[in-house]
Chains A and B, each alone.
Chain A
Amino acid sequence: MKIGVCIKQVPDTGAKIKINSDGKGVSEEGVKFVISPYDEFAIEEAIRLKEKGTASEVIAITVGVKRTTEALRSALALGCDKAIHIDSESTTLDHLAVASLLSEVIKKHEIQLVFLGRNAADDDSAQVGPMLAELLQLPQVTGVSKLTIEDRNIVAERDIEGGAKQIWSCELPAVITTNKGLNEPRYASLKGIMQAKNKPLETISLGSLGVSSEILEPKVQLDHFELPKERSAGKIFKDDTQNAVAKVVQLLRQEAKVI
């Protein structure tokens, strides 16, 4: 069985975000890019399935500009076997376009199990996974924190509101999006980093996948980016704790009117 792991390169989550002066996007200047945190669980789960013998090959796939190949190289260093970079060149793509491009690669490589992170840490939309499942007419389980695969049967647990969990069952082929808690992602070993240099990383052009221009055309557009209003420093009470507590409780009722 082949596993496809679709990953996205995003700004480091600890980074302060700066907006371009035209308000049209986020500045990349001085930004460190990493594999989106939820995608790390996807990569780890795929590699573990390969180590267990459940999977024969793990293919990392991304859609993006040239720098996103760094994320693929990191995925190879972690243990993926090969990587495919769909070069978005300078085209602006929305989620449906990305999902459509990925679906073509997944079909072409006869991938049986697709992993993606629950959402990308930059746009937080959580759209590409379910879109991919629909385009491929596959079952999906999103935000999975526990997974077992036996023969062709998948049992997956997902967290929902109120601390409750749903347990889903489906058969391969399927699309799974991964949540924190699924596993503990490993760090790349020095050996892995060395080996990654010789693993295949193929770049394919946007136009070569046969996705129509109608689909590639963005359906939504991001017109203007802004930073949220800064909160100003509040009233800070330092000395007598008992007094401070009484004061704050009183202010919450009389001034803020939230209690």
Chain B
Amino acid sequence: MAGNVLVFVEHADGKVKKTSLELLSEGFRVSTALGSQLNALMIGENASDITKQIDSYGVSEALLVHHTHLQNYSSESYAEVFAKAAEKANAEVVLVTANSMGKDFMPRLAAKLKTGLVSDCTSISVTDGILRAKRPMYSGKVIVDVTFSTKGLKLLTCRPNVFEITKNAPGDIKSSSLDMDVKAPKATLKELVVGAVGKADLTEAEVVVSAGRSIKSAENFSMIESLAEVLGAAVGASRAAVDAGFAPHSMQVGQTGKTVNPKLYIACGISGAIQHLAGMRTSKVIVAINTDPEAPIFQNCDYGIVGDMFEVVPMLTQEFKKLLAE
């Protein structure tokens, strides 16, 4: 019989993250196809209080871990915990969100267990018991089909905003605590400098508004932010805008920046260089605004407006405001 599927369930402020619900939904599909069960791993003191939030996702067992050395995230400690948890859960597949944490510790886990890891999966399927994943390479210019050549544990990190959330009827989850000693990590988290409050994250946002170099200054980004605020969107920038010093690198969309996958992407004054398209082409709907009707972005969008963004963006902000007020 196939081994189980173990999903890492992340939570913050007593609430399970949306990306973890995506992962549980996909994990349940995979475990059903493998004919095995879905287990969850939760870390933290209050983890047992929030197992209720995941009782409609087909989870059979929840493993809860708590330790002083796990109060802050650490790649070394997490690799240790996941190695132990995978064993205890009789896991064949481990799914973790491909965020700054998952991408940091999962390769450590793979090296510890001498097994394979597929990063940034955008699709998982099981045929005749064989697990296949699709993942982008070259910043999304290529999609590759990957299989594991090992019989043992298969590790995968999954892109946020890709897998559909599906609820089932609520069920009982058996909780057990994973008692283990965790070594003090060599690298320690000293401080967390928080970003602007209430700002949506680029890689998880449902709507992204980005601007290119023709924004002309960092100050002019306030116009983009006004539009983003109306839509509850995250703000991005092209590489040209970042290189010109108008926006920090954390806002860069495209190759050598972030890959985004929102429902709606609005590109303002972005010509559509191949590196930028690579980072946003999987957006469901793309709106482009550019003065140049020949700009490549117009070949890669759903709706385009030929015009000056300094004129168009404030108009868009007003129109969306009107529409959303209805």
CA distance A155 to B138 in the complex (A): 31
- Evaluate contact between A158 and B306: CB separation under 8 angstroms: no
Q: Is A61 an interface residue (CB 8 A)?
A: no
CA distance A230 to B186 in the complex (A): 46
- Evaluate contact between A123 and B100: CB separation under 8 angstroms: no
Query: Given A130-B107, A133-B108, A221-B149, A181–B248 Cβ distance below 8 Å?
Result: yes
- Evaluate contact between B107 and A124: CB separation under 8 angstroms: no
CA distance A46 to B316 in the complex (A): 47
Q: Tally B residues with Cβ within 8 Å of A.
A: 98
- Evaluate contact between A241 and B264: CB separation under 8 angstroms: no
CA distance A135 to B117 in the complex (A): 15
- Evaluate contact between A164 and B192: CB separation under 8 angstroms: yes
Q: Is B11 an interface residue (CB 8 A)?
A: no
Most B Cβ at <10 Å: residue of A133, A217, A245: A245
- Contact residues in B for A162 (Cβ distance below 8 Å): 194-195, 199-201
Q: Is B293 an interface residue (CB 8 A)?
A: yes
Which residues of B193-249 have CB atoms within 8 Å of chain A's CB atoms? 193-196, 199-201, 203-204, 207, 231, 242, 248-249
Q: Which residue of A lies closest to B307 (CB)?
A: A241
Contact with B along A17-37 (1 / 0, CB 8 A): 101000000100000000001
- Evaluate contact between B274 and A16: CB separation under 8 angstroms: yes
- Evaluate contact between A217 and B287: CB separation under 8 angstroms: no
- Contact residues in B for A19 (Cβ distance below 8 Å): 142
Contact with A along B179-192 (1 / 0, CB 8 A): 00000011111111
- Evaluate contact between A251 and B119: CB separation under 8 angstroms: no
Select A161's contact among B114, B139, B201, B257, beta carbons within 8 Å.
Answer: B201
- Evaluate contact between B138 and A17: CB separation under 8 angstroms: yes
CA distance A37 to B286 in the complex (A): 27
**Chain A interface residue number, banded:** 35 or more
Within the complex, the shortest CB–CB distance from B211 to chain A, in Å, comes to 16
Within the complex, the shortest CB–CB distance from A22 to chain B, in Å, comes to 13
Which residues of B268-316 have CB atoms within 8 Å of chain A's CB atoms? 273-275, 281-282, 284-288, 293, 298-307, 311-312, 315-316
- Evaluate contact between B192 and A165: CB separation under 8 angstroms: yes
- Evaluate contact between B304 and A139: CB separation under 8 angstroms: no
- Evaluate contact between B302 and A171: CB separation under 8 angstroms: no
Most B Cβ at <10 Å: residue of A37, A217, A246: A246
Contact with B along A221-235 (1 / 0, CB 8 A): 111111110010111
Contact with B along A35-49 (1 / 0, CB 8 A): 001100000000000
- Contact residues in B for A38 (Cβ distance below 8 Å): 256
- Evaluate contact between A17 and B142: CB separation under 8 angstroms: yes
Q: Which residue of B lies closest to A219 (CB)?
A: B116
- Evaluate contact between A180 and B114: CB separation under 8 angstroms: no
The B contact surface, by secondary structure, is mixed
- Evaluate contact between B146 and A221: CB separation under 8 angstroms: yes
- Evaluate contact between B187 and A139: CB separation under 8 angstroms: yes
- Contact residues in B for A253 (Cβ distance below 8 Å): 323
The A contact surface, by secondary structure, is mixed
Q: Is A190 an interface residue (CB 8 A)?
A: no
Within the complex, the shortest CB–CB distance from A69 to chain B, in Å, comes to 23
Most A Cβ at <10 Å: residue of B207, B305, B316: B305
Select A259's contact among B103, B111, B142, B264, beta carbons within 8 Å.
Answer: B264
Q: Is B143 an interface residue (CB 8 A)?
A: yes
CA distance A128 to B109 in the complex (A): 12
Most B Cβ at <10 Å: residue of A134, A143, A159, A179: A134
- Evaluate contact between A222 and B75: CB separation under 8 angstroms: no
- Evaluate contact between A96 and B114: CB separation under 8 angstroms: yes
Within the complex, the shortest CB–CB distance from B148 to chain A, in Å, comes to 6
- Contact residues in A for B281 (Cβ distance below 8 Å): 228, 231
Q: Is A170 an interface residue (CB 8 A)?
A: yes
Query: Given A140-B75, A140-B187, A145-B249, A234–B302 Cβ distance below 8 Å?
Result: yes
- Evaluate contact between B191 and A167: CB separation under 8 angstroms: yes
- Evaluate contact between B116 and A220: CB separation under 8 angstroms: yes
Q: Is B263 an interface residue (CB 8 A)?
A: yes
Q: Which residue of A lies closest to B250 (CB)?
A: A159
Within the complex, the shortest CB–CB distance from B2 to chain A, in Å, comes to 18
Select A134's contact among B111, B149, B199, B287, beta carbons within 8 Å.
Answer: B111
Q: Is A11 an interface residue (CB 8 A)?
A: yes
Q: Which residue of B lies closest to A246 (CB)?
A: B319
Q: Is A149 an interface residue (CB 8 A)?
A: no
- Contact residues in A for B231 (Cβ distance below 8 Å): 259
Within the complex, the shortest CB–CB distance from A120 to chain B, in Å, comes to 10
Contact with A along B76-100 (1 / 0, CB 8 A): 1001000000000000000000011
- Contact residues in A for B192 (Cβ distance below 8 Å): 164-167
- Evaluate contact between A155 and B114: CB separation under 8 angstroms: no
Taking Cβ atoms with an 8 Å cutoff, the residues of B that contact A are: 75-76, 79, 99-101, 103-112, 114-120, 132, 136-150, 185-196, 199-201, 203-204, 207, 231, 242, 248-252, 255-257, 263-264, 273-275, 281-282, 284-288, 293, 298-307, 311-312, 315-316, 319-320, 323-324
Q: List the 9 closest A-B pairs by CB distance, nearest first.
A: A163-B195, A219-B116, A139-B187, A139-B186, A170-B187, A130-B107, A134-B111, A131-B111, A220-B116
The 10 listed contacts between A and B (C-beta, < 8 Å) are A165-B195, A220-B148, A223-B144, A233-B300, A234-B303, A244-B305, A244-B312, A248-B316, A249-B319, A252-B303
- Extra pairs beyond A16-B141, A169-B188 (9, CB < 8 Å): A134-B111, A139-B76, A166-B193, A169-B190, A222-B146, A227-B141, A228-B143, A244-B305, A245-B315
